Structure 1
Amino acid sequence: MFKFKRKTILFLVMSLLMSSALLGCTEKESATTPKEGTEKAEKSITLSWPRDIGTMNPHAYNPSQLIAQSMIYEPLISYKEGGKLAPHLAESWSISKDGKEYTFKLRQNVKFSDGTPFNAAIVKKNFDAVMKNPKLHSWLGVINVLDKTEAVNDLTFKMTLKKPYYPTLQDLSLVRPVRFLGEAGFPDDGDTSKGVKKPVGTGPWMLTDYKKDEYAVFTRNPNYWRESPKIEKVTIKIIPDAETRVMAFEKGELDLIYGEGVISMDSFNQLKESGKYVTGLSQPVGTRSLLLNTSNEKLADLKVRLALQHGFNKQAMVEGITHGLEEKADNILSKNFPYTNIEAEPIEYNVDKATAYLEEAGWKLPPGKTVREKNGQPLELELIYDKTDPIQKAMAETIQAEWTTIGVKLNITGVELTVQIKRRKAGEFDLDFWYNYGAPYDPHSFINVVAEKGWGVSEAHSRLPMKQELDQQVNDALASTDETKRQELYGSILKTLQEQSVIVPVSYIKKTVVYQKTVKDFIFPANRDEHPFYGIDTNK
């Protein structure tokens, strides 16, 4: 019995000691651990995008997406509202009297996201990487005239041109290909056309998590040289289908739907009219056009091109599909760009004129048939479109239906954007949806791509009788230092392009945005391709 009592007392003492120890730990823990609900919530937003963000190579094009590239990589000069050019990674610049030398003073104390310094040497290395593949970037005028670059000292970079090129600074404000990769991102041979080791930039964001075709997560760059963004994390979910995006947004899985053609106009208006969300439209950012390939014998005839343009009701189509949120376009470039204020006679919807043009061109409608023929060949064409773009799809279907009334059989084919671009560059299309580049590219990049081979647009104009003269006018305009002469050249070039109808303007397009009411301070960027996230805040 004594043994039992002794054991019991010992057990009670040990239990008391353990309880005291546990109590001490608990008190200590409660003193150092914040109470539940007192932690500051991470500020983040989630949006959708129709396709994977790509490899995040600053010197490459599709499949890398501009919105994501601009989050990581920055330019020497930034493009602001009204076409103003402002210092960015370069704090100032000077231009020689002959217009050939550009000297940039770089901003001090700028670092890449891995902490390495941004300086003239790395600027030159990036330019060298781009210039290893000039054909890849020949659409951009400054690449074609760049002679040499020099790191004068740690914070001075100089570029010398072969000849004057007036839009040099505008070209340097673009999202690609002249933005800057850190040393750690370069492949061993320095040729970024083959890929990059990792995306290292000076921008406000870093790519920190990624699963191809599913999502990409960006977090703030801790070494960013400007004030940090208000939000700490941006998640981009890859949702190819427009209606699925809307459903995810309504369920609260997305904070934001933003971009061009990322949501049907029906859905946009429904969300707007619900009163539950905030919606917005940008100023016109470009022209939605049809590109007609004159290397196709049928489309080499101006009468056929004019007939096709007269053969669909552009006004009704644009209003019906976009519900008035886009405007019918009569000019291939809207008049809010420099040098584009030209008067163009609209080619209005007129079935009788369309029919007359086709008859004059020798395309006859055989008895009992619905498709015109010439020399035993049917007037049959194919229009390709981006299958993730609901507006392109709806317009393709409308044009297909309307052209049946003038005896034209139009086959429409939805393809991935990468395939669409590949086919355009290879000239493997009859008709294609095409957009001018918008700010800050135009009008200089627009006329350059009309003259410069390799992108499908120059080749689409190849059968024009005045193509050689047109190309010379483009070269003269881009090199001109005489403002009056430059205006005259632009007027002549744009007038010729309007009359030849290889590019058929359809509508002036705008970016759309729909966001939850927890999102604040959204502003459309002045540069069409820049991301809009730097100034955004959220109170969720």
Structure 2
Amino acid sequence: MLILSTILFGCANNKEEVVSSEEKSEKNMLTFAWPRDIGEMNPHVYNPSQLFAQSMVYEPLVSYQEGGELKPHLAESWEISEDGKEYTFHLREGVKFSDGTSFNAEVVKKNFDTVLNHLDMHSWLGFLSKINSTEVVDEYTFKLTLTEAYYPTIQELAVVRPVRFLGEAGFPEDGDTSKGVVEPVGTGPWVLEDYKVDEYAVFKRNEEYWGELPKEEKITVKVIPDAETRVLAFEKGEIDLLYGEGTISLDAFKQLESTENYESSISEPVATRQLVINSKKEQLSDEKVRQALHYAFNKEALVEGVTSGYEEKADYILPTNLPYTKDNGATVIDYDVEKAKSLLDEAGWTLSEGETVREKDGQPLEFELMYDSAEQIQKTMAEVIQSEWAAIGVKLNIVGVELTEQVQRFKDNEFDVNFFSNYGTPYDPHTFLNIVASEGFGFNEAISAYPNKAEILKQIAEVPQTTDEAQRQQLYTSILTSIQEQGALIPISYIKKTAIYQKDVTNFTFPANRDEHPFTNISMK
């Protein structure tokens, strides 16, 4: 759901789009490029609404900060009952929507109830299906009651959609926002001022914002679908900032960075690029085979060569800057070709003299790696891994497919090996484990050969209901270690975000929440 796909067509060059440097200076404006239209700016729906734009206008009760810390936002504080079922939120007083109306418990309940009326759209977000009731206690106190304890509730409230808050004026007459909103009225630091579909959007600073006012008066988003055109516009000075996953290739980023004409930033890891190995397949059902595959490619050289060092070799299946992931007991696997060969020998896969592919019981050690044909990094990594595994007697066939086919084949368990990356902040680790446990996502099937699969699934089910912090950490450590040790998931690299910006842009910082906008502290000299 977080992967950006770009649509190729030319960039219009009209007077509305082009903002001169003089205009930018006069209006204290930052210009930002994005590959697609911002969408309808509805806080309660998904594509085509763009996450970064939604987060500029609509705010959460709690915010996700560095290291997974959850901090008050529109809720100043909250209490959780001892049984983990009741959440009482004390709302921030004096907050206004951009039209001047008050933010209070009534409008919080209206937004929650609107989302809950279309639960089928939002079933992926775990806590929503567990809500038993929503209650206005008083003007600034709101209570959620769940059917069962679910510790990720606070963390899930920090996601960009669908539980952010639209003002009364934004609701259609029947209250059903699933069909659209009247106008994008939020409490956030930005207000949509001007908009032309597929061309641009201009956000002005919300002068009545309850928090610290942004330093910039306006943010202009230019819609430039073609990646090369975005880079050219940046080099011409028409764009101040290129940021976001997929908005600029690593090659283009490296080239721009090398000129020293611009400023650049690279984020902390936001996700792990992984190989998912389907242990349901006969040739991959032996743990020793899966472990051999992990030992048999030079991960550090691969990551350095393919990403020019902008990604980082991954030792674990989740980045260790996510909650509950620091205490990972999994063994770090280093490149060791002889170890890989030895494990395959022990598993009964032998390489006869003069042959290039190992066999067992007359069957060759041959399988397929599927990758997204539009993803150059996946393609190049697949080619390198194919070559390195060939050196230990493994025949790897690589096939590029459209993203939709890759996702569907993964879900349908029609794969041998597949590329995957986890969702990152603020979703993991609990969302990642939820899909591991769920049938029809590929992971449940991938760990089929694990002798302790039933115990792993039992522990995953226990985690959300655990109210004791120490016990929760112990469960996460046990689950993540066990999944990785048995080799169905092989971490490759930690994915990072990149940003390149003009030298007059200052105070750029990456948001802790992968989906939030990056404009909180940014300013122009």
> Contact 1:261–1:391 (CA<8 Å) still a contact in 2?
no
Q: 1:317: how far off?
A: 0.7
Contact 1:181-1:201 within 8 A present in 2 as well: yes
Of the candidates 226, 240, 243, which is equivalent to residue 255 of structure 1? 240
Kindly indicate whether residue 477 of structure 2 is the aligned counterpart of residue 491 of structure 1: yes
The answer for the alignment partner of 1:409 in structure 2 is: 396
Q: Distance in 2 between matches of 1:168 and 1:38?
A: 45
Residue 44 of structure 1 aligns with which residue?
29
1:332 and 1:498 in contact (8 A); partners too: yes
Change beyond 3 A, Cα 1:393–1:193: farther
* Residue equivalent to 2:53: 68
Greater displacement, 355-364 / 100-109: 355-364
Displacement of 1:502 in angstroms is 2.5
Cα RMSD of the aligned pairs, angstroms, is 3.5
CA offset digits 1:76-95 (Å, max 9, x no partner): 01122343322211122222
Q: TM-score, normalised by structure 1?
A: 0.80
Distance 1:497 1:65, change over 3 A: farther
Instruction: State the Cα distance separating 1:74 from its structure 2 match.
Output: 0.9
User: Is 2:457 the counterpart of 1:471?
Assistant: yes
Is 529-538 or 464-473 further displaced after alignment? 464-473
Following TM superposition, by how much is the alpha carbon of 1:256 offset from its aligned partner in structure 2, in angstroms?
1.0
CA distance in 2, matches of 1:413, 1:176: 32
Give the corresponding residue for 1:379.
366
Do structure 1's residue 181 and structure 2's residue 169 form an aligned pair? Answer: no
Counterpart in the other structure of 2:436: 450
How much does 1:419 deviate?
6.4
Contact 1:112 1:202 (C-alpha < 8 Å) held by counterparts:
yes
Aligned partners of 1:38, 1:302: CA distance in 2, in Å? 63
1:234 is aligned to 219
State which of 321, 330, 334 in structure 2 corresponds to 1:344.
Answer: 330
* 2:154 match: 169
- Kindly indicate whether the alpha-carbon contact (under 8 Å) linking 1:311 and 1:351 is maintained by their aligned counterparts in 2: yes
Match of 1:320 among 305, 309, 329: 305
Question: Which secondary structure does the structure 2 equivalent of 1:289 belong to?
Answer: strand
Deviation readout 1:103-152 (Å, 9 max, x if unpaired): 11222333333444332222223222333444544443323433221122
Cα pair 1:53 1:63 within 8 Å, conserved: yes
Shift of 1:517: 0.8
From the superposition, tell whether residues 324 and 122 of structure 1 become closer, same or farther in structure 2 (CA, over 3 Å). same
Question: Please, which runs of 5 or more residues in structure 1 have no aligned partner?
Answer: 1-36
Q: Aligned residue for 1:500?
A: 486
Letter of the 1:383 partner, please give it: M
Whether the 8 Å CA contact 2:89–2:142 is kept in 1: the answer is yes
Q: Which residue, out of 108, 120, 138, partners 2:93?
A: 108
Q: Secondary structure at the match of 1:317?
A: helix
How much has 1:435 moved relative to structure 2?
2.5
Bigger proportion of residues as helix: 1
Is the Cα–Cα contact under 8 Å of residues 278 and 514 in structure 1 kept in the other structure?
A: yes
Is residue 365–residue 394 contact of structure 2 (8 Å, CA) maintained in 1?
Answer: no
Aligned to 1:97: 82
1:445-504 CA-to-partner distances (Å, cap 9, x unmatched) read 332332245655445445544333212101222222223322321221111111232222
For the residue of structure 2 that corresponds to 1:58, the secondary structure is coil
List runs of 5+ in structure 2 lacking aligned partners.
1-21
Distance in 1 (CA, whole Å) between partners of 2:148 and 2:522 is 42
Q: 1:128 aligns with which of 87, 107, 113?
A: 113
| 1:200-279 alignment, distance < 5 Å | 200-207=185-192, 208-212=194-198, 214-221=199-206, 223-240=208-225, 242-279=227-264
Q: Give the direction of change, closer, same or farther, for the CA distance of 1:373–1:222 in structure 2 (3 Å limit).
A: farther
- The counterpart of 2:128, out of the listed 143, 153, 173, is 143
Secondary structure class of the residue paired with 2:268:
coil
- After the TM superposition, which of the residue ranges 345-354 and 360-369 deviates more from structure 2? 360-369
User: Aligned partners of 2:409 and 2:380: how far apart in 1?
Assistant: 21
**Does 1:58 find its partner at 2:23?**
no
CA shift for structure 1 position 255 = 1.0
Query: Which SS does the other structure have where 1:478 is aligned?
Result: helix
Q: Give a deviation string over 1:366-417, Cα, whole Å, max 9, x none.
A: 9998777887788342423372x5534433343344344443333342535x
Q: Is the CA contact 1:265–1:321 (under 8 Å) kept in the aligned structure 2? A: no
Q: Which of 424, 428, 431 pairs up with 1:438?
A: 424
Give the Cα separation in 1 of the matches to 2:216 and 2:401: 37
Q: TM-score, normalised by structure 2?
A: 0.82
Asked if structure 1 preserves the Cα contact closer than 8 Å seen for 2:167 and 2:186, the reply is: yes
Q: Distance in 1 between matches of 2:84 and 2:71?
A: 19
Larger Rg: 1
Q: Distance in 2 between matches of 1:370 and 1:238?
A: 51
**2: CA distance, partners of 1:459 / 1:426:** 9
CA distance in structure 2 between the partners assigned to 1:235 and 1:71 by the alignment? 12
Note the alpha carbon deviations across 1:328-361, whole angstroms, 9 max, x for none: 1111123333432123222333445545656776
What secondary structure sits across from 2:26 in the alignment? coil
